[in-house]
Amino acid sequence: MDKKNALRAGALAAGTTLMMLLMSSPALALARDDGDDPGQGLSVIETLGLYVAAPLVLFGVIAGLVMVLDKSKDRQPKAPAKGAKAKVGAKA
């Protein structure tokens, strides 16, 4: 992508974001709806645990399972032995 297209895409993204922020009024969040029954807020530790620690732990568990259960034997292709000739018609 050249510079002109990148600048155009950035301007479009910034404009769209700005319009979305201006159109969503935070004042509407102060008015209660009928039947609205919010629970107690989370503490800082609970929030960090829920939105930071839990995803990191989940990512670690998934990455660990993928590494442990990986069935491939060779991670890198072996170099041909010295003096060995390549087979004719063999796929690389």
Per-residue model confidence (pLDDT) at position 50: 96
Mean pLDDT for 15-33 is 79
Distances (CA, A) of 57 to 42, 43, 92: 20, 20, 40
Is the model's pLDDT at 4 over the cut of 80? Answer: yes
Query: Which amino acid makes up residue 7?
Result: L
pLDDT band at 27 (very low <50, low <70, confident <90, very high): low
Domain edges within the chain: 43-70
DSSP string, 9-32: HHHHHHHHHHHHHHHS-GGGGGSP
Summarised one tens digit per residue, pLDDT across range 29-83 is: 677 778 878 889 999 999 999 999 999 999 999 999 999 988 776 666 666 677 6
pLDDT of the residue at 20: 87
